[in-house]
Amino acid sequence: MKIFRNALYRRHDARLEMYRGRLVPCHETPARLDHVLAELARRPVGALHDPVPDDAGLDAALAAIHAPRYLDFLAGAWDEWVALDPANAGTDILPAVWPVRGFRADVLPESFAARIGLFSFDAGSPVMAGTWAAAREGAACARSAALAVAAAERAAFALTRPPGHHAGPDFFGGYCFLNNAALAAQTLRDHGAARVAVLDVDYHHGNGTQTIFYGRDDVLTVSLHGDPRTEYPFFLGHADERGEGAGLGANLNLPLPRGTSATTWFEALEAGLAAVAAHRAEAPLVVALGVDTFEGDPISGFHLRADDYLRLGERLARTGLPVVLTMEGGYAVAEVGVNVVNVLEGFMAAAG
């Protein structure tokens, strides 16, 4: 397995997120990846690579899944923020106003506060000085992993943070800025795969990925997640969302109640993999790999244990499909390394 690691992951290191009326320390920290890298040093399941240097190719791939005005805003947000007031350099950016139903999104406001609200959906995803550099390098890793699989590698892993699956065509949120799984799927499409499936196993619904591909039938999106009636991101991820237009039937949501056991979770995984096989068995599979399904996760509610991640990796290998994995959530920081590397080790053991 080729592992493309984001060497700039420490540059996104935000301080505080809004939670229940208070600013609390960010859950999505650089230490998460420190633990994955430390575990990979103990169990070298694959060689570490830097992403391919190709700014033009990356920009074109990003433009295929994200809106130009969103990318422009994100790339320049920190400089704008500091230009407003040099004292802002000591504070991360958080939105505080959003255009909900009936408000206009077609007129781009001049106000910075209004634009950061327009391009986001929560107050839990601070933007800081290194956010763009870290997210962009992560996108390069996702693209490189997809290119490796397009060039006949059985599997590749984009080891990166910040995560990506909540980021939509023109919005960030859920600690996500650029949608790495969607970028990998689009890259596979652009390099010879007629059909691609995305399987999202993060605890939270992959709303960004769903929205990006909702009207398309060439990319199947499947997500197993906490039921949005009670779980973040709340406003998408229900079972009746099946896709629209040409994409009708190419989205599958498998919401599960908070408290779901590993046994029930693996049954839902089978349902998701059956949909992947029905979509077109030989198509490459992108796995949005969050390990916040872990029983010890501080913000989630499923009950998977460390061994279950070995089983997950084995099961993914037994699909027989080429696989690109992207690193998503997982906030039991000290256990993230073992759980992620278990998936990779299980995959390699069963892939033979």
The residues binding ligand SP5 (CB under 6 A) are: 19, 124, 163, 166, 174-176, 202, 204, 232, 290, 292, 298-299, 328-329
Kind and range of the H or E run holding 224: strand 219-226
Q: Which is nearer to ligand SP5, 171 or 189 (CB)?
A: 171
Q: What dihedral do alpha carbons 101, 165, 6, 318 form, nearest 10°?
A: -170
Report if residue 284 touches Zn ion, rule: CB under 5 A.
no
Q: Does 208 bind Zn ion (CB under 5 A)?
A: no
* Alpha carbon of residue 205 to chain centroid: 10
Residue nearest to Zn ion (CB): 329
Residue 343's Cα: distance from chain center in Å? 16
The answer to the question of residue 294 lying near Zn ion (CB under 5 A) is no
Q: Which of these ranges, 51-59, 127-135, 197-205, 319-327, lies near Zn ion under the rule CB under 5 A?
A: 197-205
Residues 89 and 61 sit within 8 Å (Cβ to Cβ): no
Nearby residues of 41 by Cβ (< 8 Å), 6 or more positions away: none
CB of 175 to ligand SP5, least distance (A): 5
**d(Cα 97, Cα 314) in Å, to the nearest integer?**
44
> Which CB sits closer to ligand SP5, 95 or 290?
290
Please name the helix (run of DSSP H) or strand (run of DSSP E) that holds residue 336, with its range, or none.
Answer: helix 333-351
One residue of 117, 138, 247, 290 binding Zn ion per CB under 5 A: 290
Single out the segment in contact with Zn ion by CB under 5 A; choices: 70-78, 208-216, 250-258, 284-292: 284-292
Partner whose binding site includes residue 176, from Zn ion, ligand SP5, none (CB under 5 to 8 Å by kind): ligand SP5
Q: Measured between alpha carbons, how far is 345 from 197 in angstroms, rounded to an integer? A: 22
d(C-alpha 307, C-alpha 323), whole Å: 21
CB of 19 to ligand SP5, least distance (A): 5
- From candidates 136, 143, 195, 204, binder to Zn ion by CB under 5 A: 204
Residue with structure tokens 């299980």?
Answer: 346
Q: How far is the CB of 204 from Zn ion (least distance, A)?
A: 4
In the complex, the smallest distance separating the C-beta of residue 12 from Zn ion, rounded to whole angstroms, is 16
For Zn ion, the closer of residues 143 and 204 by Cβ is 204
Query: Could you tell me which stretch among 10-18, 111-119, 194-202, 332-340 binds Zn ion (CB under 5 A)?
Result: 194-202
Tell me whether residue 71 or residue 176 sits nearer to Zn ion (CB atom): 176
Whose Cβ is closer to Zn ion: residue 292's or residue 345's? 292
Tokens (6 digits) for 45:
């399941």
Positive or negative, the CA dihedral 74, 78, 84, 90 is positive
Tokens at 58, concatenated: 């990356």
With beta carbons less than 8 A apart as the criterion, state whether 134 and 176 touch: no
> Catalytic amino acids?
166
264 φ, ψ to 5°? -65, -40
Using CB under 5 A, list all residues that contact Zn ion.
202-204, 290, 292, 329
